Structure 1
Amino acid sequence: MAEMSILARRRIEATFAKGVFAEMAREFGEAAAKRVLARAVIAMAKDAAREFAQAAPAGADLAHFRAIQSLWRAEDALTIEELPAKADEFHFNVTQCRYAEMYRDLGLGELGGILSCQRDAAFCEGYHPALALTRTQTLMEGASHCDFRYRWVGGAARPQGESGG
């Protein structure tokens, strides 16, 4: 049996989150509901990242991080333009995002950033302290593209999959 794609998983999560968010907003107010949802999603992203890092054959490094990006691209979920970068960097723009489209189609455009975009920096934190993300804009917020700029800063892990033991 094939494992479920991340896009399919996010659709299920979003459908569930929509109902939970609506109830939390009625009970505690929309601002509090957004804070709770954001904290939960960040914690989930960090936990998932730690699992990916632990499963990295040579340990968490930039080469492994680059390799697992294909999981988020499955089902043509992202149209990516890779950009030149140094050995300790990984840069790309997302020019089409089915995640953002899905959240809008589900009536969750306002929560898409919480449910999806904020995961990216949290994922870096959970994956390895040396992995840093800079992003100044997203399609979810109405920009022409998402600008992902990853850097491996310090830390003992190897950038770009250099061998080590």
Structure 2
Amino acid sequence: METIYDVPVLLRREIEALMVKPFLDAFEKELGHEKTYEIVEKVIAEIAFEQGKDYAVVLGGNGIDALMGQAESWSANDALDVDMKVENETDCYMTVKRCAYVDMYDRIGMKDLGATLSCLRDEYFYEGMNPEIKMSRSKTLMSGGDCCDFCLRFPKQKD
């Protein structure tokens, strides 16, 4: 392993969650729940944005092909069961039918934080990877949905 990106994302998220939880608890005692999580969400968004930029470099691009490579990282070690459909050069749909991240947060007693520590990252990650990508999602497995339904719209390629 040469970089943090060589570590499976599922394992990284578990390590991060176990590391950050005592800090969150301490900050919550001092600042209250609302202020603590306002700060956490801002920091997670910034981290995800920067990681998206990093992945665009590592993957050598920021279009649909790079997205496919990025999806492999998140799915490593059977972490996700995803149906991916590339509709055309601008539209990609992903349906996550099973998510080991949900199971992991539940197993470590932090399911209530899973959406903040993991799902929140998605939109900011894609924005960092390509500021012109528009991501939408109406539900997540982490929040009790029957799937995660991603729609990613890429800008048209210039000729």
Which of 13, 17, 21 is the aligned partner of 2:16?
13
Whether contact under 8 Å (1:90, 1:149) holds in the other structure is yes
Aligned sequence identity (%): 28
Give, in whole Å, the separation in 1 of the partners of 2:83 and 2:71.
Answer: 13
Give, in whole Å, the separation in 2 of the partners of 1:34 and 1:111.
Answer: 10
Aligned to 1:77: 79
1:17 positional shift: 1.4
Whether contact under 8 Å (2:59, 2:69) holds in the other structure is no
What SS does structure 1 have at the residue aligned with 2:142?
A: coil
1:84 positional shift: 5.4
Write 1 or 2 for the structure with the bigger share of helix. 2
- What TM-score, normalized by structure 1, do the two folds share? 0.87
1:128 positional shift: 1.2
Number of residue equivalences: 156
Gaps of 5+ in 2: none
Which of 118, 137, 142 is the aligned partner of 1:140?
142
Give, in whole Å, the separation in 1 of the partners of 2:86 and 2:43.
Answer: 34
Q: Runs of 4 or more off by more than 6 Å in structure 1?
A: none
- Relative to structure 2, which stretch is displaced further, 9-18 or 61-70? 61-70
Which of 88, 107, 122 is the aligned partner of 2:124?
122
Give, in whole Å, the separation in 1 of the partners of 2:94 and 2:62.
Answer: 20
- Relative to structure 2, which stretch is displaced further, 82-91 or 43-52? 82-91
Which of 66, 69, 83 is the aligned partner of 1:67?
69
Which of 79, 90, 97 is the aligned partner of 2:99?
97
1:8 positional shift: 0.6
Give, in whole Å, the separation in 2 of the partners of 1:99 and 1:135.
Answer: 17
Which of 25, 35, 39 is the aligned partner of 1:36?
39
Whether contact under 8 Å (2:48, 2:124) holds in the other structure is yes
Give, in whole Å, the separation in 2 of the partners of 1:4 and 1:117.
Answer: 19
- Relative to structure 2, which stretch is displaced further, 76-85 or 131-140? 76-85
1:9 positional shift: 0.6
Which of 55, 58, 70 is the aligned partner of 2:58?
55
- What TM-score, normalized by structure 2, do the two folds share? 0.90
- Cα deviation per residue 1:70-109 (whole Å; 9 max; x = unaligned)? 0000010001122352221111110110111111222211
1:40 positional shift: 1.0
